Chains A and B, each alone.
Chain A
């Protein structure tokens, strides 16, 4: 169950009194104001909100890409807001799979090599890495495209490779930032089907930021970000 009142306990992700303040050109912007969130393992949560409401900021904080001005984030018992440097990098590698709007594949690497990247940071052997990468690419339906470079793939295929990369190290949760924002309707549906399957069949915890109401409808829980706090829109 997802809660936004800060009264939950023992959830996979616990966010407490999260503030994020930016100062730009002498102006102070309060993006997040005492935000609370509890997400249980296996939940599929969508975040919506107008541009500039702080959706991506929240995702960056949850993924350990940025540090809050105040408050704490605890994932599976680890308070990530207390981590920094190499320990935070190692935590990210172990626990988070990222999917971006623009796919963010490395253009000089093949689909296989892109998916293999997170595994380079593990102690797996080359053969074990190969098995994991092939399994991940098979899961997203691109086993026959593993030697293709990103420029040789369609947008939808690129995003599926990105999802395979996010999944390959079996992270604790996936963070998806507008994963269908740059895709046509058909490709977007394919990606949403895939995410839904990952949630339903594999019990993956997924946090999805989107502008698209149709995409948001696929999630089990829809939260709106308004004035720096989360408001539940659908249970």
Chain B
């Protein structure tokens, strides 16, 4: 293979403008692929990071309807339940509405142990437990607003009125790149103390099960336990819950897939045309190679390699560009907290580009393969 490299490179670089445009087409398409992957990852981040042993239990009517705090102990009594914690959506606004980030009141005693993927300094967490007005924020959220531990952060309540002030005691970080570092937690007892209504209720429960394989059975048992009560529940795995949440925003994945498909199909047409022109221009040279003893298969192989070389170089440029772009963080200022493209996705993009390269070179390559030498040499 390596012995054909000079021939391959000479052919690829013979028309600089064509090389630039073809590689550029791949680079732009794969850059877009990288960005779409990051957007997809940001939207489905909850699905990807969902714990296999966690259930979300919400009010059967709607997520915005509460559940009684008394359900915690009743769920703990069910077989297969390891721990139960809870959270309540607060919907506070920091300074102005466009500064959106998820903020909710959590159970300070068990919330952290339910989410071991979030890493917290033990000293900071001890301070959190000591201060009723304490809050904890993700590293990205702190960076976004320039917050540091000790800051006083006011949020304007939208569900419960007034300005609520918090002391920033904890800045947590995720143990994986895709973990959500854009959340704001504060203590449930502070919410309970100040809110004028809704006392004794929580937004949703998070149940850890002893055996992830029995998660569905435990979810059914929870729903049955509270069936025909004033607050019926809907329990489901965290993955299913997150997927449902994403669906509420529309079928983002289908949209991304549609855009990606159009981009790749256009790329295939463009590069297929380039390879067809390449073969047409080089019929005589292909005839010479065959005359010298290059087999039909070798000619096909050389053209496919050439086509894949365009794809590989362009894809590498585009994907690395996308990686660099996403490393700079969320470009929307908070809407896409986990704006991240994994190396796995980049690898998939690279393979996809090679597949396009192969497909683009296949038909012109087959035509070259079938070309009769005497017909090719007549074109000299």
Q: Is A120 positioned at the interface, with any CB of B under 8 Å from its CB?
A: yes
- In the complex, are the beta carbons of B295 and A118 less than 8 A apart? no
Interchain CA distance A117-B10 in the complex, whole Å: 13
The yes or no answer to B294 lying at the interface (CB within 8 A) is yes
Residue in B closest to A97 when the chains form the complex, CB atoms: B292
CB neighbours (8 Å) of B293 from chain A are 89-90, 92-94, 118, 121
Q: How many A-B residue pairs have CB under 8 A?
A: 69
Cross-chain contact A104 with B288 (CB below 8 angstroms): yes
The bracket for how many chain A residues form the interface is 20 to 34
Confirm or deny: B291 has a beta carbon within 8 angstroms of a beta carbon on chain A: yes
Q: Are B284 and A120 in contact (CB-based, < 8 A)?
A: no
Contacts of B296 on A, CB cut-off 8 Å? 85-86, 89
Q: Contact between B292 and A109 (Cβ–Cβ < 8 Å)?
A: no
Contact call A121/B10, Cβ cutoff below 8 A:
no
B374 touches A60 (CB 8 A): yes
Interface size, chain B (Cβ < 8 Å): 26
Is there an interface contact between A65 and B373, defined as CB atoms closer than 8 Å? yes
Known contacts A106-B288, A109-B10, A85 near B295 by CB under 8 Å = yes
CB nearest neighbor in B for A66? B374
Q: Does the CB pair A109–B380 fall under 8 Å?
A: no
Question: Which residues on B sit within 8 Å (CB–CB) of A29?
Answer: none
Within 8 Å of chain B (Cβ to Cβ): is A36?
Answer: no
A211 to B6 CA separation, bound complex (whole angstroms): 37
Residue from B10, B284, B295, B380 within 8 A of A108 (CB atoms): B10
CB distance from B5 to the nearest CB of A (A): 10
Q: Contacts of A104 on B, CB cut-off 8 Å?
A: 284, 288, 291, 377, 380
**Are A65 and B288 closer than 8 Å at their CB atoms?**
no
Q: Which residues of A contact B372 (CB under 8 A)?
A: 66
B63 on the A face (CB < 8 A): no
The secondary-structure label for the interface of chain A is helix
What is the minimal beta-carbon distance from B375 to any residue of chain A, in angstroms? 10
A98 lies within 8 A of chain B by Cβ: yes
Say if the beta carbon of B297 comes within 8 Å of chain A: yes
Contact B284 A65 (CB under 8 A): no
Interface centre among B7, B289, B293 (most CB of A within 10 A): B293
Does the CB pair B292–A117 fall under 8 Å? yes
Chain A, 91-125, CB within 8 A of any chain B CB: 92-94, 98, 100, 102, 104, 106-109, 113, 117-118, 120-121
A179 at the interface (CB under 8 A from B): no
Rounded to whole Å, the gap between the CB of B298 and the closest CB of chain A is 8
State whether the Cβ of B285 lies closer than 8 Å to any Cβ in chain A: yes
- Whether, in the assembled complex, B98 has its beta carbon less than 8 Å from a beta carbon of chain A, the answer is no
CA distance A90 to B293 in the complex (A): 6
User: Is B290 interfacial (CB-CB < 8 Å)?
Assistant: yes
A126 to B298, CA, bound (A): 19
- B130 contacts partner chain A, Cβ-Cβ < 8 Å: no
Is the CB–CB distance between B11 and A98 below 8 Å? no
**Which of chain A's residues has its CB closest to B297's CB?**
A86
Interface string of B1-45 (1 = CB under 8 A from A): 001101100110110000000000000000000000000000000
| Pairs A-B, 8 closest by C-beta atoms | A93-B293, A108-B10, A89-B295, A86-B295, A65-B373, A108-B14, A104-B288, A92-B293
A-B contact pairs, 12 of them (CB 8 A): A63-B291, A66-B372, A86-B296, A90-B295, A92-B293, A98-B291, A100-B380, A104-B288, A109-B7, A120-B3, A121-B298, A126-B3
